[in-house]
Amino acid sequence: MCLFCDIANSDKKDNVLYEDDIVVAILDLYPESDGHTLVIPKKHYEDVYEVPDDVLMHMFNVSRMVAKKNMDKLNQKSIQFHINYGEAQAIKHIHLHSFEKLNGTKKYSVDEIKDILK
């Protein structure tokens, strides 16, 4: 089984910011900036060409909603949405990143971010 399947379907909810029947949104354990979030479908799809359009749109809508909340709570001014493909995709399970990119600030630990975003 793949790492993101394990995470998306786990009962452990430490880093979960949002969850429904289709996706889970979690804080990235190796963030590029404060609030770096991953939206991961619970069903395994390897990449952007395998995931159905309705699931991809749902991933984006959830990411947009969570990113807005994160930006407000962290006082961020920008957001970037990103999907890796091919050799750039370290884990072969599609996931959508959202993170502040212009400043790329990391002031807090993931645990501190969890407390801020609650």
d(CA 80, CA 17): 18
Residues 6+ apart with CB under 8 A from 102: 77, 78
d(CA 80, CA 76): 11
10 Å Cβ neighbour count for 59?
24
d(CA 22, CA 36): 20
Single out the catalytic residue among 36, 58, 93, 95: 95
Q: Give catalytic status of residue 95 as yes or no.
A: yes
d(CA 56, CA 62): 10
- Report the catalytic residues: 95
